[in-house]
A = this chain, B = another copy of it.
């Protein structure tokens, strides 16, 4: 435990994978004197209580955010506007309101208008997660070595930005600051379109009449299984991501489609050089990601070979 907590009371609005991981990490590192968790569903609150990562649990927004000096929206981004509107009268003067949403322009658009005078809106996005969801999926190490992007609005309070930055650094992350629109474009290519493509190919496989689902499952070790991991991510969260980052996702998808058409043409016409050149170029990017500490160098991500 560090001597001084960064915040007296952190209110986590949403206690799924990200919210619960923040709670575990805050606990371990002593970053909050009090951790309050909010969830709408009784089942979620009961799971959180059993695990015990929060100091108080609430199905009432007002009591959850009361006296909090940091409020973090950690629900699907489609809910942020309504939640902020509802909690606004109960927010403390000088509090920071932040989030962990995977889109940022929409947060400014939906949350901004409801934030009271004297409360600091500083959107944030930790680039970390797994395919699992719910309060039982969280763990304290989730943010370690990962990047967290802050998108403070123009004129944001510098002290509040610094405080949030120090908090995410204490959670184990590296912190960057970015414009919301640029964030949304970067994430469209590094996260949103990859998820869409993974969901799509798993759907295509599921629909084939000539190949059974049993065959798809048995022979998935050829590459398909990697896509199914991504396509097992939380459906509500991802629906909201696509609905709220439409412009950037459609822009990247258009480029992806053009490039795929060129590859398709190369296969049809037997242009081996074009294929070979692309397949060589893409290897270098993998190497850079490993060198940057953003993935494991172990073959197959270090999945353990099945023991007899």
Contact = CB atoms under 8 A, between A and B. Distances in A.
A41 interface: no
A228 B272 contact: no
Interface stretch (A32-40, A49-57, A86-94, A193-201): A193-201
A246 interface: yes
How many copies of this chain does one complex carry? 2
B217 A294 contact: yes
From A132, A195, A233, A263, residue with most partner B Cβ within 10 Å:
A263
A229 interface: yes
A191 B172 CA distance: 36
A237 to B, nearest CB: 9
Interface in A168-219: 172, 176, 182, 185-187, 189-208, 210-211, 213, 215-219
24 contacts: A102-B222, A141-B307, A145-B305, A185-B210, A186-B215, A189-B201, A189-B205, A190-B223, A194-B222, A195-B223, A196-B263, A196-B267, A200-B256, A200-B260, A200-B263, A203-B282, A204-B252, A206-B285, A207-B259, A220-B294, A229-B300, A239-B279, A246-B270, A250-B264
Given A196-B263, A218-B292, A301-B301, 7 more contacts: A129-B221, A172-B308, A194-B222, A203-B259, A206-B285, A225-B295, A232-B282
Interface of A: 78, 102, 127-132, 137, 139, 141-142, 144-147, 149, 172, 176, 182, 185-187, 189-208, 210-211, 213, 215-233, 235-236, 238-240, 242-243, 246, 249-250, 252-253, 255-257, 259-260, 263-264, 267-268, 270, 272, 275-276, 278-283, 285-289, 292-296, 299-308
What 9 A-B pairs are tightest by C-beta distance, nearest first? A191-B222, A130-B299, A145-B306, A235-B279, A141-B305, A232-B286, A231-B282, A194-B223, A202-B282
